[in-house]
Amino acid sequence: MKQSLRILGILDIPWDARLGGARVWMDLAEQWTKAGHTFERFSFTEAFPKPTTSGAIFALRRLIFPSRAARFVRNNASRFDVIDCLLGTLPFSKKRLGFDGLVVGRSIGLNRPYQNFIRFSKKRWPDQPHGKRMGGMFYDFVANRINRRAERALVTSDLVNLLNEDEKPFVPHDRVIVEPNGLTEVERAALHGASQSAARRLAQKEICFVGMWGLRKGSRDWPEIIRHIRSKSPATRFRFLGTMVDQATVLADLGISDGVRVVETFDRKELPELLGPCAVGLFPSYIEGFGLAVIEQLAGGIPVIAYDVPGPRQIFSSTASKFLVPAGNAAAMAERAVEILRMTESEYASLSETSRQIADRFRWEQIAADTIEEYATALTRLRGAGQHETGVVSA
C-alpha cells in the first residue's frame, strides 16, 4: 500500500492488554504504524480517565460513551480518513459527526448471538443468581440500549468488519469483510520457544484453560470435565489462566481443591512460560467472536479441544473433526483430552505440529495488511461515488 491512511479507533473498552477486545486495536495499531499509517484511539480510558470499581457507574459510563466519542470526532474529523469503531459506539450519522471518511463497524462478537446465549443460559442453568430486582432492571435497560445501538450500526456503517463467517447472516447488507485475529511473529516465537517436549508434557499431564471465568466460557461444564478425565487419568492437573476472578471462586465452582492452579491475571509476556508445560488445552466456550486464546495455545504446540461454535469453527475449519466437539458435550471434550494424554510421544508430537500449523495461518502482520487494503478500496469507492448520508440515528 502506497496510500497512508489516518485511522481513529473507537472502543468503549478500557485500553488494557489483559482485555481481549482492546488487544485487537492494540495489535492492529502496532502493525499499521509500522507500515506507515497513523493510528489514534478514543477508548473508554480516554473518555473516563478516572477508573471506577462500581458496576453501576461503569454501565452508566457505557451509555454516555457514544456522546463523548461523537464530540471527539466532531472536533477532529478532518484529521482522519477511517474510523474503525466497535459496533454501536458511534451511533450517529456522518453528517451529524461532520466526517466524510470511511466508518467501519467492527465486531468482536456480534451482540445478537451473545443475546441468544444469555437466553439459552437462563434455561440451561436456571439456578444462577439474579441479584436485586431493581439492579436487574437497570442492567437490562443498559444492555438493551447498547444492543439497539449495535443493531443500528450494522445498517449505518459504510463497512462492517466481522471475525467469522457465521456472523454474516446477521448483517443486512453486503458491505462486509471477514478478518480474523492473530498473533505477531514475536508472540509466535515466544510461545514456540517456551513449549516443552512431548515426553515432558505427557508425563506431567497438565490441562490448561485461558480465559475469563464465567458461564459463557463454560464454568458450569468444568466439574464434569474434570471428573471424567480424572476417572481415567487420576494424576491429571489443571491450570486456569486469566480468570479475572480469584482462586477461591474458581475452586468453589469446581468443587475441588487439589491439582488446580489459578492465575487470575498475567502480563502477556508471561503467557509462554505459563503454557509451556501444558499438554492439552480445553476451551468449552459457548459463544465466541473468534477465540484468540485458542490461537495462543496452538502456537505453543498445545492441541486445543473446543466446542463447535463460531470462532473456533473458523479457526479449525478443515481440521474440525480433530479439535471440535458438540457444544455442551462436556463428556466428549473430556474423552478427547484423555485420548491425547494417552498418545505416544510421536503421535503427540505430530498433533502438536498440526496445532502450530493452524496457528501459523493467523498472523497479525498479514491480517493488518489485508485489512488496510479493504479499507483503502472501500474509501476510494466511497469518495468516488460521492458522499452519501447513511441515515440519521440518535443515541
Residue 127 lies in a domain: yes
State percent of the chain over pLDDT 70.
Answer: 95
258-276 core/surface letters (b: 16 or more CB in 10 A; e: else):
eebebbeeeeeeebbebbb
Residue 378, in any domain of the structure = yes
d(CA 298, CA 247): 25
Output the pLDDT for position 394: 38
What confidence score (pLDDT) does residue 319 get? 80
> Looking at the structure, do residues 258 and 328 belong to the same domain, yes or no?
yes
Same domain, 189 and 294: yes
Residues 155 and 37 in one domain: yes
Instruction: Decide if 313 is inside a domain.
Output: yes
Would 112 be classed as within a structural domain? yes
Lowest mean pLDDT among 213-222, 311-320, 345-354: 311-320
Instruction: Give pLDDT tens digits for 218-244.
Output: 999 999 999 999 999 999 999 999 999
Answer yes or no: do 214 and 346 share one domain: yes
Assess whether pLDDT exceeds 90 at residue 257. no
Ranges 51-55, 134-138, 185-189, 214-218: which has the least confidence: 134-138
Separation of alpha carbons 16 and 22, rounded Å: 6
Using the predicted structure, report yes or no on whether residue 390 has a pLDDT greater than 50. no
Q: Are 101 and 83 in contact (CB under 8 A)?
A: yes
| CB contact at 8 A, 314 and 289 | no
Contact between 15 and 41 under an 8 Å Cβ cutoff? The reply is yes
Looking at residue 113, its pLDDT comes to: 87
* Residue indicated by cell numbers 486469566: 242
**262 has which bridge partners?**
240
394 inside domain: no
pLDDT > 90? residue 112? no
Tell me if 395 is assigned to some domain: no
- Assign residue 154 the CATH number of its domain: 3.40.50.2000
* Average pLDDT of every residue of the chain: 92
Q: Tell whether 294 and 228 lie within a shared domain.
A: yes
Give the model's pLDDT for residue 231.
97
Q: Decide if pLDDT at 385 tops 80.
A: no
pLDDT of residue 2: 61
Q: Which domain holds residue 141?
A: 6-182+363-385
For the chain, the domain total comes to: 2
194 and 265 both lie in a single domain: yes
Q: Could you report the per-residue pLDDT of 138-195, keeping only the tens digit for each?
A: 888 888 898 899 999 998 899 999 999 999 999 988 899 999 999 999 999 999 999 9
Residues 215 and 169 in one domain: no
Residue 266 placed within a domain: yes
Residue 137's pLDDT band, with cuts at 50, 70 and 90, is confident
**Grid-cell match 450494522, residue found:** 154
Helix ranges (H only) for the chain are 20-34, 44-47, 55-76, 94-97, 111-124, 133-156, 185-194, 198-204, 222-232, 247-254, 271-275, 292-299, 312-316, 320-323, 330-341, 345-359, 364-385
Q: Please check whether residues 208 and 348 belong to one and the same domain.
A: yes
Q: Could you tell me if 65 and 191 lie in one domain?
A: no
Average pLDDT over residues 88-116: 92
> Within this chain, do residues 267 and 198 fall inside the same structural domain, yes or no?
yes
Residues 287 and 375 in one domain: no
Q: Is the pLDDT of residue 392 over 80?
A: no
Pair (264, 128) in one structural domain: no
Would you say residue 297 lies in a domain?
A: yes
At 386 the pLDDT is: 64
- The residues, ordered by sequence, that sit 6+ positions from 234 with a Cβ below 8 Å of its Cβ are none
Q: pLDDT tens for residues 286-329? A: 999 999 999 999 999 999 999 999 999 999 987 878 899 999 99
Long-range contact set of residues 169-172: C-beta below 8 Å, sequence gap at least 24: 170/110, 170/112, 170/113
Residue 360: closest CA among 312, 308, 313, 300: 300
